[in-house]
Structure 1
Amino acid sequence: MGEALKIDNSLTYKLIDDKDVFMLISTVREGIKYSLFQSIADVIPFNLTEWSNFLHLSERTFQRYKKEKRTFDPLHSEKILEITLIYNKGIDVFGDPANFDAWLNAKNVALGGVKPKELLDSTFGIGLLRDELTRIEHGVLA
């Protein structure tokens, strides 16, 4: 899945999973530093425009965060971690980032005919993707 990336002195990219919920809660409360976000964005193949849409932040705001080395607020930090968790689960289910990326970008009948990637802008959409990945993982195809 790529090399481990150091995140907030205690979390690595590979360790962003739901096994240590208290670590995730602590990270959200402290906020994710832009450098951590950049480490995640370097691994997950979404461009700045997509991240901007997912987090409901303008690209200009992202540029300001980067320049000022800012920390994302808890709501944005939580969304970044949720997307990271979904991406990691998708790679586990599909066995390969390229296969999961193809699934994210293909219209999906089980998801109402939208591309799964289009659902990453809301917590409900992320939950729907999590449920669909679990069904795929267990061989229950709609």
Structure 2
Amino acid sequence: MSKSVKNRDTDIQARVGQAPSKPYVFTEAPMQAFNDLLVPYETYFKSPLAKLGAIKHGLGSNSISDLLKVTGATQSDIARWLHITEPTLRKHLQSPHDLNQGLSEHIIQLFELFDKGMDTFGSPDEFKSWLKHYNPGIDAIPYDLLDSITGISIVISQLIRIDYGVLA
């Protein structure tokens, strides 16, 4: 037997003795953590009256830190979306109190958007990536529209279109 055939046979036997390679396994930990952060807000997505009640009462300031975790956005981005300064945002993060109606409504809408994005894309990372790329269906970068309730509604409508396969 030639030397090359022996080496090939030895290589095959060596590979047969090895454990088969495992396919890449997705962990549920990041998605589970994402979902756990949204759980306290899910009742607001399902019931307009519950949403209205939460807006009128005002969300706790801890909702801003939940928003930071869910969105993965910077404090600067969150402050821009909510139309507040960064020092005001930090003040909200440091002291427990209820937020005003405008901030509460905007935050609930953002949570609803991210919940819908998770449903549409199945992964927080894929949805966050989609948000940062130009979308011809809305002729904008979705991430840039999150500073208004109307902009968030436009992005949610686009997600619904994606769910139904109507991309234009």
TM-score normalised over the length of structure 2: 0.74
**CA distance, structure 2, for counterparts of residue 68 and residue 19 of structure 1:** 29
Q: 1:80 aligns with which of 107, 124, 134?
A: 107
- Residue 118 of structure 1 aligns with which residue? 144
**CA distance, structure 2, for counterparts of residue 16 and residue 38 of structure 1:** 19
Question: 5+ unaligned residues in a row in structure 2: which ranges?
Answer: 1-30
**Superposition RMSD on alpha carbons, in Å?**
1.8
Q: 2:73 aligns with which of 46, 58, 78?
A: 46
**Residues 16 and 84, structure 1, Cα contact 8 Å, conserved in 2:** no
TM-score normalised over the length of structure 1: 0.86
Per-residue Cα deviation, 1:94-113 (whole angstroms, up to 9, x for no partner): 1111111110011112221x
Q: Aligned residue pairs: how many?
A: 136
- Residue 32 of structure 2 aligns with which residue? 2
Question: 5+ unaligned residues in a row in structure 1: which ranges?
Answer: none
Task: Map 1:54-93 to 2 at 5 A.
Answer: 54-93=81-120
- Residue 131 of structure 1 aligns with which residue? 157
Structure 1 or 2: more helix by fraction: 2
Work out whether 1:12 is the aligned partner of 2:31: no
**CA distance, structure 2, for counterparts of residue 2 and residue 37 of structure 1:** 19
